[in-house]
Amino acid sequence: MERTTNAISSDTPGISAGRLKASEYALRFCDSHAPLTLTQALIESERCYYCFDAPCTKACPTSIDVPQFIQRIAQSNIRGAAQTILESNILGGMCARVCPTENLCEKDCVRQTNESKPVEIGMLQRFATDAYFSDPGAPLFTRAASTGRRVAVVGSGPAGLAAAHRLAMLGHDVVVFEARSKLGGLNEYGLASYKTTHNFAQEEIDWLLSIGGIEVRTGQLLGRDITVDALINNYDALFLGLGLAGVNTLGISEPQAKGFRAAVDFIADVRQAKDMAEVPVGRSVVVIGGGMTAVDAAVQSRKLGAREVTMMYRRGPEAMSASIHEQEWAQKNGVTIRYWSAPKEILVADGAVTGVRFAVTRTEAGKLIETGETFSVQADMVLSAIGQSFVDKPVGAAIALEKGRIRTDDDGRTSHAKIWAGGDCRFGGRDLTVDAVEQGKRAAMSIDAALRA
């Protein structure tokens, strides 16, 4: 890259937008993994053994019949392949982009045994869904005869969308309430831009809604514009896909200082930006945390032109909730990952962050302890990414919680007979998009059974 003088660059101190040449942004924020070409897809699909009782399918939270959709790709039956995927996972297109397949279907692929090289299931799923969405033709899914029942879905993230679609398909009338201006939840606001380029999230939602029977009301925040009680009174059933609206605090003093913010907000800003050149980023960025949010924030900081980005995690690499694959992705993008570092103090001068002081940690008898040694990392932007939490206030006393999230049975049924819940707001999950889809789908079927009983 050409080194420019006098202009704003990666070397410009403080927080600044436009650190790169205009042409550079498009290159950096393109698809992180180039989709398979037809030829590549055909070659890869022929690697599938079409296993009996396939381990990949069992590993998929939505139980996609993987050998079947891959066989259909090999047979040049793209619509059939997409049907297999989407009837199990209505957001199969997004999941093909964001699923940690290396820990799910591909981890269990029998090709691992002799080759350590699974069939590229995620990439094939993306190929099939992309090819289908580019020319969908006649609807894949149609609605059953109307039941005359009305179901409210609060939250339009993966869980809410999956629930809404399945409910509509089963003949119920659905109203989706969304606090933000766009549907999609984390699909729209919480993912790194390079994971879902070209406005894919909205296109997928448009397609999903095309089944009909789903009314969308945006700008409706639970507790402000709508209430659980009113929804229970006005609808036959209620599905809560509220996500995690709260951001976990670092457990140390968090100053109101320029450059200190939650990683989720930064990610949402990047995603919603019309022009990446307008997104400000620090010269030196510290991201505190070890999950996918931390990786997405760190990598995007680098892509926006930050000179150095460091992810700070208080434990070792194996304990990180970002997979080894994700960690390598961060490192490949020039992010330094430092382990065994717990934040002690956000350093501030003149109302702006200047760095973070960390304590060196280690485990002793299974417990994480600080060694007493501390060190500081200079930064003009500090992003906190140590997890989100469920904000239970709008739900009120209506339903029982467990460890701060909504308690449900396997079908998503809460302690209230008319309320189901799914996605990250529900207790006991792994906070994966694909799990949220499954929970939404399953809750919809449970609601359907209850309404027909």
Partner 1 sequence: MADLSSNFLGIKSPNPFWLASAPPTDKEYNVVRAFEAGWGGVVWKTLGEDPNVVNVSGPRYGTLMGPDRRVNGLNNIELITDRTLAINLEEIARVKRNWPDRALVVSLMVPCNEESWKRILPMVEDTGADGIELNFGCPHGMSERGMGAAVGQVPEYIEMVTRWCKQYSKMPVIVKLTPNITDIRFPARAAKKGGADAVSLINTISSIMGVDLDSMTMSPNTGGKGSHGGYCGPAVKPIALNMVAEIARDAETAGLPISGIGGISNWRDAAEYIALGCGNVQVCTAAMVYGFRIVEDMISGLSNFMDQKGYSSIADFQGSAVKTVTDWRYLNLNHVDKAVINQESCIKCGRCHIACEDTSHQAITATKNGAAYYEVKDAECVGCNLCVSICPVPNCITMKTLKPGEIDLRTGKPVSSEYANWTTHANNPMSPTFQQKNA
**How open is the CA angle 417-421-425, to the nearest 5 degrees?**
140
Contact 285, 381 (CB under 8 A): yes
**Least distance to partner 1 from the beta carbon of 48, Å?**
10
Q: Which residues contact 446 (CB under 8 A, 6 or more apart)?
A: 411, 412, 413, 420
Separation in Å, CA 76 to CA 69, 81, 135, 260, 281: 11, 9, 14, 51, 45
The smaller minimum CB distance to partner 1, of residues 69 and 420, is found at 69
Contact 119, 44 (CB under 8 A): yes
* Distance between CA atoms of residues 136 and 203, nearest Å: 12
Count of residues of this chain found to bind partner 1 when the rule CB under 8 A is applied: 14
The smaller minimum CB distance to partner 1, of residues 9 and 57, is found at 57
The smaller minimum CB distance to partner 1, of residues 105 and 242, is found at 105
Among 52, 116, 137, 373, binds partner 1 (CB under 8 A): 52
Separation in Å, CA 70 to CA 66, 98, 199, 264, 340: 6, 19, 26, 35, 42
Q: Is 50 in the site for partner 1 (CB under 8 A)?
A: yes
In the chain, count H helices and then E strands: 16, 19
* Distance between CA atoms of residues 185 and 208, nearest Å: 15
* Distance between CA atoms of residues 309 and 335, nearest Å: 5
Tokens encoding 157: 């993230």
Q: How would you class 298 by CB atoms within 10 Å of its CB: exposed for 0-12, middle for 13-18, buried for 19 or more?
A: buried
**Least distance to partner 1 from the beta carbon of 127, Å?**
17
SS (H, E, C) 190-235: CCCHHHCCCCHHHHHHHHHHCCCCEEEEECCCECCCECHHHHHHHC
Contact 156, 183 (CB under 8 A): yes
The smaller minimum CB distance to partner 1, of residues 107 and 111, is found at 111
The smaller minimum CB distance to partner 1, of residues 56 and 425, is found at 56
**Least distance to partner 1 from the beta carbon of 46, Å?**
4
* Distance between CA atoms of residues 211 and 141, nearest Å: 7
**Least distance to partner 1 from the beta carbon of 333, Å?**
33
The smaller minimum CB distance to partner 1, of residues 49 and 375, is found at 49
**Least distance to partner 1 from the beta carbon of 131, Å?**
18
Site string for partner 1, 98-127 (x = CB under 8 A): ------------xx-xx-------------
**Least distance to partner 1 from the beta carbon of 104, Å?**
17
* Residue span binding partner 1 (CB under 8 A) among the ranges 47-55, 158-166, 183-191, 258-266: 47-55
Among 22, 27, 49, 417, binds partner 1 (CB under 8 A): 49
Phi, psi angle pair for 35, to nearest 5°: -65, 155
Among 22, 27, 30, 43, binds partner 1 (CB under 8 A): 43
* Residue span binding partner 1 (CB under 8 A) among the ranges 53-61, 174-182, 302-310, 351-359: 53-61
* Residue span binding partner 1 (CB under 8 A) among the ranges 40-48, 232-240, 244-252, 262-270: 40-48
**Least distance to partner 1 from the beta carbon of 51, Å?**
4
The smaller minimum CB distance to partner 1, of residues 48 and 90, is found at 48
* Residue span binding partner 1 (CB under 8 A) among the ranges 43-51, 123-131, 300-308, 356-364: 43-51
Using CB under 8 A as the criterion, which residues of the chain lie in contact with partner 1 when the complex forms? 43, 46-47, 49-55, 110-111, 113-114
